[in-house]
Amino acid sequence: MNPTIRTESLSKRFGRTTAVDSVSLDVPESAIYALVGANGAGKTTLIKLLMNILRPTAGSAQVLGMDSAALGGTSLSRIGYVSENQELPDGMTVGGMLDYFRPFYPTWDRELEAQLVRQFDLPLTRKLKNLSRGMKMKASFASSLAYRPQLIVLDEPFSGLDPLVRDELIEGLIERAPETTIFLSSHDLAEIESFSSHVGYLHQGRLLFSEEMTTLSNRFREVTITLAGPSPLPANLPAAWLEPQTADCVLRFVQSDFSDERSPREMAERFPAARDIGFEPISLRQIFLAIAKSARGAHGGSSHTSTDQEKQA
Amino acid sequence: MKQILHIFWKDARRLWGEIFLSLAITACFVGGTVATLRNGDAPGGSVEVLTLLLAMLVPVGWWILATRVIHAERLVGDTQFWITRPYVWSNLLAAKALFLLAFLYLPFFIAQLVLLAEAGFPPQHYLAGILFNLLLLTGVCVLPLAAIATVTSSFARNTLTLLGILVGFVALAAAVATVASRFSGPPSDLDGYLFFTPPVVVCAAAIGLQYWLRRVWVARAVLLALPLLLAATVYPDSWYDQARMDRVYPVTQSGAPVRLSYVPVTGSSGSATSTLKELTVPVALDLSETGVAEGDAVIVDAVRADVTAPDGSRWTSQWQALGTAPLGPGEGSVSTQFGMPIEVYNKFRSQPLSVHLVLALTQAHVASATSIPMPMGRFAVPGFGVCALQTGWTPIPGEVTGIRCVAPVTDPPLTFISTRWSSTPCTGVPTAPDAGVLGAGWVGSLDPWPGQINLSAALDMHVNLSNNQLENGTKDRRALCPGTPITFTQYSRVGRTQTSVDVQGFYLPKVVVAGHMITYTTTTTTKTTPAQ
């Protein structure tokens, strides 16, 4: 099955600044792919490259089987795009905007439109410029979901929204999930953890990993080893052990290549005198923090050079 | 087509205010012009002044309309709502063009039809001229405004950009004038194309690029190349003007159609502003003319001077444009003038010089003549236009000061208008053709274009028929009496040729240079040689 989105060494530079650095990723069909990363990581730039709003400096991207650089015109009728920065035709009412967009899309579903209007409680007669930020996002969602796009691209869609609006939008999205592929960016891990099927982590323009959420959760564990006595941090720890630290007799780190079968045996062999070895699942937030801190430490703050630790992660 | 109309109607609904403003300005302009045409308002009358102001506002209305409609789906930036929607760029461009067609061109076209009809011309006869005028207005006004709108992100930025361009344009015009003044020949057929075609091509390219690719900096670079392109055309154009003179104005075996000889003038003085880069001294020589055949008219288009000092040193000017009033049969005079660089002037000053003037002449011949007893109201002159007596702001209200004519779409053919002024108030008896004072004037052009850049297809012309009433106040009061014959003699080109005049012992004018201002005084010469 062809992926809905595929990038190959996709890069974008603005002068001396590299916003997206040789990113290669696949987004399978029907996935809910969350691209996460801190502010300034390059998420919005990557999305703009996928939508042909920006042109890549190097590499290429395929979106719905098309070269992203050729994306435009009628091909956009299969893609829904919502961004926190996107302008709306402010002079129009909500109803006027939906009326205006409707003829652009052959697949526009009037019933779904009515359902979304009800679901989001949209005031059809009010001008967009008079709406709150949350209402504008809802209107934008409705206008991008009503034609049942094959791909929905969302750039920080929930940023700055109150929890109620955010939940409404997520609910609207999840309802569409079976029939579409969703690619969204966020810097808030908690908001995407509950419904994403795939996740990619972008750090200073580089994609540190991109995989299924379940695989990711399964391979990360917080490992706590209680040693016989106080001990310094051992040298030459594996690169897959992130954020190692010791306190008295306890060695603690995040293992990024956990295996049910292999890891307990490996720990027992490495620390034969250990009194206790514990493996605890960790949240997505903890995983990212561990990776981000490791990457920062490895980069010394600013370098873009990939390290063994990053690769291992 | 469906998408084009869909975007068009959206713009029409959203921009009704701008549409209304532009239509209102156009309507008021048409109203003012119609009132002026109907009332024969005096030059400078309140209605005419108001109409002039409205004429300046019409392009402002176009600017607002074109900019706002293009900015409704602006092309600069990456956050616009439409760029991730299934807009087809060619449809978007077509929708904007349709909008301008509907709310700018169509009202303007209708306005021209109304004005022509009001002026007494059947509009259907002048459709080609109106369309040509629209083409010219598109090239010099609408396309540049649209191109600037495509590379600006907001109306405020557009306004600032436009102001910057106006300042730059003034600087460029000054620079071009500096170059052109040194090489100016008579305008060639190429001039119009050279200065019209590059802006049209460049602006159209910038608009097309922006809609097709949305590459803002590429489009901006293309637009910025325009001044350079225009500046670059000045030299080849000047070279072309100079190079073609001997071919276009050949020396003929049959001799010149006019005899010219130098007339020494004493004590004339004046001042002139020099070019920016180089101080140029204006050297004037008055010539008397005889020998123009009956039915002919001669126009001195350009002059070239060859100056020789007693020590044998010599300076030859480029061809320099003159554009004098046509010379007719009988005795008359013509003032020629050429510019001399200050360093040349300093070399030749205070010496008796030999000046060899070569003059480029256009000979015209009567094509038709129409004589009409002067009516009280408007009267039509076939092949020319519609005229009426002109009343001015003289001490006596309603006193006739000349005639006012309206021509359709473009300049009329070169026409000599003549009549007789009565030295006494009109008594109901027409002035006899050989009585009173001759009143005459030239209007029109030997090479009228099919249309010209003008907001009104009814071209207003004031001809005071050599009446000096205004200048002399109540002295030499004259009257143009009903029934007096007024003759419109139209000329067509017969040919072009050269003639020359030799002047011996000519002294250059005395000049005082202060900054870029030259004050000069012409002194006498000692000897003249008849024209060849």
User: DSSP strand E in A139-289: where?
Assistant: 151-155, 181-186, 198-203, 206-212, 221-226, 241-247, 250-255, 276-281
d(CA B238, CA B226): 18
In A, minimum Cα distance to B3 occurs at A104
Search chain B and give the residue with CA nearest A140.
B81
Residues of A in contact with B86 (CB under 8 A): 73-77, 104-105
Name the minimum distance, in Å, from the CA of B72 to any CA of chain A: 8
Q: What is the largest CA-CA distance in chain B?
A: 83
Task: Describe the crossing of helices B155-183 and B46-71 by its angle, rounded to 10 degrees.
Answer: 120
The residue type at B31: G
Relative to beta strand B332-341, strand B400-408 is unpaired
Backbone angles phi, psi at B465, to 5 degrees: 50, 50
Residues in chain B: 532
- Please indicate if any CB of chain B lies within 8 Å of the CB of A54: yes
Contact state of B10 with A100 under an 8 Å Cβ cutoff: yes
- 3-state SS, B438-474, equals EEEEEECECCCCCCCCCCCCEEEEEECCCCCHHHHCC
Is A102 an 8 Å CB contact of chain B? no
- Number of CB pairs, chain A paired with chain B, less than 8 A apart: 45
Both structure tokens of B150 = 């495509």
Q: Do A75 and B85 touch (CB under 8 A)?
A: no
Question: Most A CBs within 10 Å: which of B11, B83, B93, B211, as the mutation test of the A interface?
Answer: B83
Tell me what ipTM this predicted complex has.
0.82
* Contact between A81 and B14 using a beta-carbon 8 Å cutoff: no
For residues B1, B3, B7 and B13, what is the CA-based torsion angle, rounded to 10 degrees? 80
**Nearest of A95, A100, A150, A156 to residue A122 by alpha carbon:** A95
pLDDT in tens, B17-34: 999 999 999 999 999 888
Alpha helix (H) residue ranges in B421-514: 469-472
CB B173 within 8 A of CB B179: no
pLDDT above 70 coverage of chain B, percent: 84
For testing the chain A interface, which of B78, B80, B85, B217 should be mutated: the one with the most A CBs within 10 Å?
Answer: B85
What HEC string does B363-379 produce? EEEEEEEEEEECCCCCE
- With H, G, I as helix, E, B as strand and everything else as coil, classify residue B362: strand
Task: Select the more confidently predicted residue: A228 or B223.
Answer: B223
B80 shares contact with chain A (CB less than 8 Å):
yes
Q: Are B70 and B150 in contact (CB under 8 A)?
A: yes
Token pair of A189 as six digits: 């891990």
pLDDT digits (tens, 9 = 90+) for A136-188: 988 999 999 999 999 999 998 888 788 888 888 888 888 888 889 999 998 87
Q: Determine contact: A253 vs chain B, CB below 8 A.
A: no
Name chain B contacts of A79, Cβ cutoff 8 Å.
Answer: 84
Token pair listed for B505: 């012992």
B252 touching chain A per CB within 8 A: no
Query: Is B454's pLDDT higher than 60?
Result: yes
- Residue B113 pLDDT grade (very low, low, confident, very high; cuts 50, 70, 90): very high
Residue A300 at interface with chain B, using a CB cutoff of 8 Å? no
Beta pairing, strands A198-203 & A32-36: parallel
CB contact under 8 A, A101 and B84: no
Instruction: Identify the three-state secondary structure at position A81.
Output: strand
- CB–CB contact A53 B84 (8 Å): yes
Q: What is the pLDDT of residue A305?
A: 34
- pLDDT above 90 covers a percentage of chain B that reads 32
Q: What's residue B17's pLDDT?
A: 94
pLDDT at residue B273 above 70?
A: no
CB distance B86–A73 less than 8 Å? yes
Site of tokens 């598109």: B138
Out of B83-97, B170-184, B209-223, pick the least confident: B170-184
Whether B356 contacts chain A with CB within 8 A:
no
At residue B11's C-alpha, the angle toward residues B152 and B14, to 5°, is: 100
The alpha carbon of residue A245 is apart from the nearest alpha carbon of chain B, in Å, by 45
Closest-CA residue in chain B for A51? B84
Report the chain B residue with the minimal C-alpha distance to residue A90.
B81
The confidence score (pLDDT) of residue B341 equals: 84
Per-residue pLDDT of chain A (313 residues; tens, 9 = 90+): 689 999 999 999 999 899 999 999 999 998 999 998 888 889 999 999 999 999 999 999 999 999 999 998 899 999 999 998 889 998 899 999 999 999 999 999 999 999 999 888 899 999 999 998 888 988 999 999 999 999 999 998 888 788 888 888 888 888 888 889 999 998 878 778 888 899 998 988 999 888 898 888 888 999 999 988 887 777 788 888 888 888 888 889 999 889 888 888 888 888 888 888 899 998 888 888 888 777 766 554 433 333 444 444 4
How many whole angstroms separate alpha carbon A46 and alpha carbon A33? 13
Q: Whole-prediction pTM value?
A: 0.82
pLDDT of the residue at B281 = 80
Residue among B78, B80, B86 minimizing CB distance to A105: B86
B516 in helix, strand or coil? coil
Residue found under tokens 């067509």: B492
Report the Cα B509 to chain-centroid distance in Å. Answer: 31
The string of pLDDT tens digits covering residues B241-266 is: 777 888 888 887 777 788 888 887 65
Q: Taking CB atoms and an 8 Å limit, are A74 and B88 in contact across chains? A: yes
Angle at alpha carbon of residue A62, lines to A61 and A66, rounded to 5°: 135
From its phi and psi, is residue A42 left (phi > 0), alpha (psi between -120 and 50) or beta?
Answer: left
Q: Which residues of B touch A72 (CB under 8 A)?
A: 89
Q: What are phi and psi of A198, to 5 degrees?
A: -135, 155
Q: Which of A209, A173, A175, A161 is nearest to A35 (CA)?
A: A209
Task: Give the distance, in angstroms, between the CA of residue B125 and the centroid of all CA atoms in the same chain.
Answer: 24
Chain-chain contact of A73 with B84 (C-beta, under 8 angstroms): no
CB contact under 8 A, A100 and B88: no
pLDDT at B5: 95
Interface test with B, best of A84, A86, A147, A152 (most B CBs within 10 A): A86
Q: Which of B327, B344, B241, B329 has the alpha carbon at shortest distance from B286?
A: B327
pLDDT of the residue at B397:
58
d(CA B89, CA B91): 5
Mutate to test the interface with A, among B75, B84, B215, B217 (most CBs of A within 10 A): B84
Nearest residue, CB atoms, A81 vs list B3, B14, B84:
B84
> What confidence score (pLDDT) does residue B470 get?
45
